[in-house]
């Protein structure tokens, strides 16, 4: 990436205004045109959102997008869309014991609704607040039930099974953190009270230790900040066995959306644990040690992203994708979503840019802040911003599952391009909201606003 050190948030003001105008149009189009009976919208095919059954992890992004739109613009129709659909359709996600995605679905909906009330963006209603709080408490406890104990702690296991630690899940920890902040615990056999904060911490430690590499000789492919999508454990004895991937090219390369989840997740959790008292971590880990470990993971992954993204801050879908060898010095140029060899992944940029900005603020380090702004500038302009009113997506050139060949390849193209995803669109909106709140001088945007001082 070629970091633009002169770029300021104010320089993006017009782009952000245009972004929110387009965003509102897309939300209303989906609300009007999408057949909910077909299943949850996942990604677009020829500009129309369609479903793709694997796990139900994107519905929260659909309804949460409307809530972010309301937050940014104050247009109450979007609040009603988000609130009505959350209350009417999201309940199954609260007790879904088969996924690791509670922090995606339920923070995006119930979490945003609770945050908006705490921030004074919506009218205070005690019963409504209690409803959102109960939903978050339940979701955090159910997510914590997906637990594998290891030699040195444990982790929330992925939908792939108890042996599987996904780097993605670092961001689902937010639901455990919110549930804990609301005073909740997981109750087990014989009324054993399980701390959601402890499970959060143990999962973060496992992710930092096994999903992120630090150039310390762990294996032949060990580089500062490289991530593994999946870490495999022997569930009989709790030992780590190997790295793997579900959506990347190999376990020894870096799937860039997995990298982005870590980039965004660790800085958010640094912000949260900054406010957690040392006493709350007693018997688990010292606060100093935990913060140092998370900061190391955050810096490493953000550094790796900067080094392995194109000049404009957009990465290709996997750093080891085989077609990249035919593209010359592709990192010395702007990204090319229409190339003949490998797709880019704008959703990785949308997620990762927020992580860069949060880490930059946490450290007061311009390098990361400017890198985040550089990627945001590219995302909020063509060819990544979807300006076609007939296209339901907002952020173009997102990729879901390249190895499974799930992504649409348009006529005349050789690799997937021109399509959007629910997570890409939602996280582009989160990124835009982060910057919009700065421009407006509003309260700093965290997922836990109002829960802890």
Using CA atoms, how far apart are residues 20 and 268, in angstroms rounded to an integer?
Answer: 24
pLDDT of residue 27: 98
Q: Which residues pair with 233 in a beta bridge?
A: 240
Average pLDDT over residues 408-428: 98
Residue range 86-130, pLDDT digits in tens: 999 999 999 999 999 999 999 999 999 999 999 999 999 999 999
**How far is the CA of 333 from the CAs of 303, 367, 437, in angstroms?**
18, 20, 31
pTM for this one?
0.98
What pLDDT does residue 81 have? Answer: 98
Residue among 306, 397, 380 at smallest CA distance from 343: 397
- Residue ranges of the domains in the chain? 9-440
Q: Which numeric CATH code is attached to 9-440?
A: 1.50.10.10
Q: Tell me what pLDDT residue 53 has.
A: 77
pLDDT in tens, 183-203: 999 999 999 999 999 999 999
> Could you tell me the CA-to-CA distances from 291 to 14, 198, 205, 208 in Å, in that order?
37, 14, 10, 11
The band of 267, judged by pLDDT with boundaries at 50, 70 and 90, is very high
Q: How many CB atoms lie within 10 A of CB 420?
A: 25
Packed helices 59-73 and 422-440: angle between N→C axes, nearest 10 degrees: 20
Kindly list the distances between the CA atom of residue 192 and the CA atoms of 1, 43, 183, 281, 375, in Å, as whole numbers in the listed order.
50, 42, 16, 19, 46
Gap between the Cα atoms of 332 and 342, Å rounded: 16
Model confidence band, residue 453 (pLDDT cutoffs 50, 70, 90): confident
**How large is the C-alpha radius of gyration of the chain?**
20
pLDDT, residue 317, reads 98
pLDDT digit string, tens, across residues 51-77 = 987 888 999 999 999 999 999 999 999
- Report the pLDDT value the prediction gives residue 237, as an integer from 0 to 100: 96
Once rounded to an integer, what is the mean pLDDT over residues 154-163?
97
Instruction: List alpha helices for 308-380, DSSP H.
Output: 346-363, 366-379
Give pLDDT tens digits for 351-392.
999 999 999 999 999 999 999 999 999 999 999 999 999 999
């Amino acid at each position: 990436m070629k970091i633009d050190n002169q770029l300021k948030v104010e320089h993006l003001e017009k782009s952000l205004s245009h972004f929110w105008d387009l965003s509102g149009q897309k939300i209303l189009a989906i609300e009007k045109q999408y057949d909910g009976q077909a299943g949850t919208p996942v990604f677009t095919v020829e500009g129309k959102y369609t479903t793709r059954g694997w796990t139900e992890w994107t519905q929260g992004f659909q309804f949460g997008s409307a809530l972010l739109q309301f937050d940014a613009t104050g247009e109450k129709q979007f609040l009603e869309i988000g609130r009505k659909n959350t209350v009417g359709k999201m309940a199954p996600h609260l007790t879904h014991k088969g996924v690791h995605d509670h922090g995606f679905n339920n923070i995006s909906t119930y979490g945003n609704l609770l945050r908006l009330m705490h921030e004074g963006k919506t009218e205070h209603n005690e019963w409504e607040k209690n409803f959102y709080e109960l939903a978050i408490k339940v979701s955090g406890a159910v997510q914590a039930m997906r637990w594998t104990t290891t030699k040195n702690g444990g982790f929330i296991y992925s939908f792939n099974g108890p042996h599987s630690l996904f780097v993605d899940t670092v961001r689902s920890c937010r639901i455990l953190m919110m549930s804990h902040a609301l005073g909740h615990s997981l109750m087990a056999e014989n009324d054993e009270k399980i701390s959601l904060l402890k499970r959060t911490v143990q999962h973060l430690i496992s992710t930092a230790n096994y999903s992120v590499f630090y150039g310390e000789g762990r294996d032949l492919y060990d580089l500062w900040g490289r991530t593994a999508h999946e870490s495999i454990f022997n569930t009989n004895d709790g030992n780590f066995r190997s790295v793997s991937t579900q959506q990347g090219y190999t376990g020894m390369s870096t799937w860039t959306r997995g990298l982005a989840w870590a980039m965004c997740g660790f800085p958010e959790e640094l912000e949260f644990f900054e406010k957690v008292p040392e006493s709350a971590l007693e018997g688990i880990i010292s606060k100093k040690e935990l913060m140092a470990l998370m900061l190391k993971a955050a810096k490493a992954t953000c550094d790796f992203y900067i080094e392995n993204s194109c000049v404009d801050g957009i990465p290709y879908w996997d750093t080891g994708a085989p077609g990249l060898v035919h593209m010359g010095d592709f990192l010395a140029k702007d990204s090319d979503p229409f190339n003949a060899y490998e797709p880019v992944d704008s959703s990785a940029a949308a997620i990762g840019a927020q992580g860069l900005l949060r880490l930059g603020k946490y450290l007061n380090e311009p390098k990361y802040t400017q890198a985040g702004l550089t990627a945001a500038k590219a995302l909020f302009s063509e060819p990544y911003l979807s300006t076609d009113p007939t296209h339901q997506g907002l952020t173009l050139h997102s990729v879901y599952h390249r190895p499974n060949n799930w992504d649409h390849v348009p006529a005349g193209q050789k690799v997937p391009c021109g399509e959007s995803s629910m997570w890409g669109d939602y996280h582009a909106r989160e990124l835009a909201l982060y910057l919009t709140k700065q421009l407006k001088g509003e309260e700093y945007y965290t997922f836990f606003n109002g829960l802890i001082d």
